[in-house]
Amino acid sequence: MQNKTSKSLFGVDLNQYRANADFKILATKCDFIFLRSSGSGTGKFKVDTKFLELAKKCRDYGIPSSAYHFAVPSADLSTADSQCDDFINILQEGYGKGDYGELFPVVDVEVPLDKSISTDNLLDWVDRFRKRFESKTRRRLMIYTGSFFIDMYNNFKHSKKGYILSDMPLWIAMYSDIPANPPFPNDGGGWTRWRVWQFSEKGDVAGIDLPVDVNWGPDHIDLLRMPKPVSNVRATIHGGMAKVTWNKSTDIDLNGYNLFVNKEYVTTLDKNAVSYTIDLSKVPRLKAGMEVVVGIESFDLDGEFSKRVEVRAGTREDEMEREDTIEREDIIEREDTIEREDIIEREDEMEFQEFRYDSVSEETFFIRYPKGWRI
């Protein structure tokens, strides 16, 4: 894997045992913070006693954060479901409904150390946990594990499925201050790059009074956090079309945008788009008089989505009334045309015509005889 660079971000991870921190100082020292939200090491789900307080302080001081769950994989794969659901719930207690922190949420995998389950079992358990989490939250899940643990479990290679976890962002623990270890992490588990590298558990950081786990991050915070919400979104309706404009996202790993009308998916656009016109007649379940709300979200190369921004564009009522008027006029015009065509058709059926003079009334009459008439 790669070594750190001169631009690598710096961060710490905190828990109830290292919660005595001065956040005013930390805000000047740390680019990011990971918190322990919970763990299942005791055999049941347990919330870190300082998580809610620490999550609030990170927000108050503007330090990007998220949290990890200390997972306990087992032969019973259904335990992945219960641990995952409890993790989702406690994250929302810390960050708000539908909010899981700015950074990648993390599943911490470093047990069982006694190899009481097989490699395939361990990997299937973690894969089940992450798929459930991502399906329920629309967030990508990062994995935390140690180089030694990857080695212990057959280089995290499934006997039938291969490196099934290698597409997860990796937070790797490998302490370079231990003499026997390499200067930076080796490739392993199908990974050739880390997103976060925990390089020591004995960090001395101003603002924290105990040795703390310290980490190198990527060269830019955008590679660790969810995309920022799209800004300056505007939408107007004209002629049955909704015109949407926005400012291009500044995220360095931006990959594109998704557009919605009244929460119905409309289209996906590339990263260079800054406007789009939506044909409202093609939006499912959009009826006359309904309010039109346009939503937009950006997404990055990791498949992380920003929070969706929604703006009111107006209603289709006026447009629909104009369309109804045009339609009624079209119907009247078609009826007039049919009537004229019918008259002409009837006239075409006449075969004879003549003028006759009535000597009594002294008037002249024009007479047409229908087809088949014979004198």
- Contacts with 203 (C-beta within 8 Å, 6 or more apart), sequence order: 12, 211, 212, 213, 214
Q: According to the model, what pLDDT value does residue 193 have?
A: 98
Contact 266, 255 (CB under 8 A): no
**pLDDT tens, 35-50?**
999 999 989 999 999 9
Q: What is the DSSP string of 268-290?
A: EEETT--EEEEEGGGSTT--TT-
User: Hey, is 230 helix, strand or coil?
Assistant: coil
Q: According to the model, what pLDDT value does residue 289 have?
A: 87
> Span 123-149, mean pLDDT?
98
Q: According to the model, what pLDDT value does residue 372 have?
A: 47
pTM of the shown model? 0.84
- Categorize the per-residue pLDDT at 19 as very low, low, confident or very high, splitting at 50, 70 and 90: confident
Q: What is the DSSP string of 172-222?
A: EE--TTSTTS-SSPPPBTTBS--SEEEEEEEE--TTBSS-EEEEE--SSGG
The answer, yes or no, to whether residue 286 has pLDDT greater than 90, is yes
- Contacts with 365 (C-beta within 8 Å, 6 or more apart), sequence order: 355, 356, 357, 358
| Phi, psi (deg, nearest 5) at residue 189 | 65, 15
Query: Mean pLDDT, the chain, as a whole number?
Result: 90
Give me the half-sphere count of Cα atoms (radius 13 Å) on the Cβ side of residue 326.
7
Please give the residue that has the higher pLDDT: either 300 or 319. Answer: 300
The answer, yes or no, to whether residue 340 has pLDDT greater than 70, is no
